[in-house]
């Protein structure tokens, strides 16, 4: 299930990057069951190594990223999972 969510996020990022003239991005997400304070990291890969772009924390099951990029690229989101009971 979580893998499917990550794949969907990556596809959304790629589609929005390809369809936009803007160099900015905004990622808003809400995942039921995530604990407040869960760390979410936006990453890319350079020379086959992960590079952190930004990090945020979950609040009320939601998180967001906003920034700019020089060119479209593939990124991913990494969640330090802490599911509620």
Q: What is the pLDDT of residue 25?
A: 87
Please provide the DSSP assignment of 24-81 as one string: EEEEEEE-TTBPTT-EEEEEEEETTEEEEEEEEE-BTTEEEEEEE-SS----EEEE--
Q: Where are the domains of the chain?
A: 2-79
Q: Is 55 exposed, middle or buried (0-12, 13-18, 19+ CB in 10 A)?
A: middle
- Comparing 2 with 17, the larger pLDDT belongs to 2
State yes or no: pLDDT of 73 exceeds 60: yes
State yes or no: pLDDT of 82 exceeds 60: no
| Span 12-55, pLDDT tens digits | 666 555 555 567 888 999 988 888 999 999 999 999 999 999 99
Q: What is the pLDDT of residue 17?
A: 53
């Amino acid at each position: 299930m979580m893998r499917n969510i990550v794949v969907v996020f990556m596809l959304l990022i790629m589609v929005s990057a390809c369809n936009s003239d803007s160099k900015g991005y905004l990622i808003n997400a809400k995942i039921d069951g995530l604990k407040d304070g869960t760390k979410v990291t936006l990453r890319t890969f350079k020379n086959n190594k992960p590079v952190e772009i930004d990090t945020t924390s979950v609040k009320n099951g939601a998180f967001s990223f906003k920034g700019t990029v020089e060119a479209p690229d593939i990124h991913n989101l990494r969640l330090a999972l802490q599911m509620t009971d």
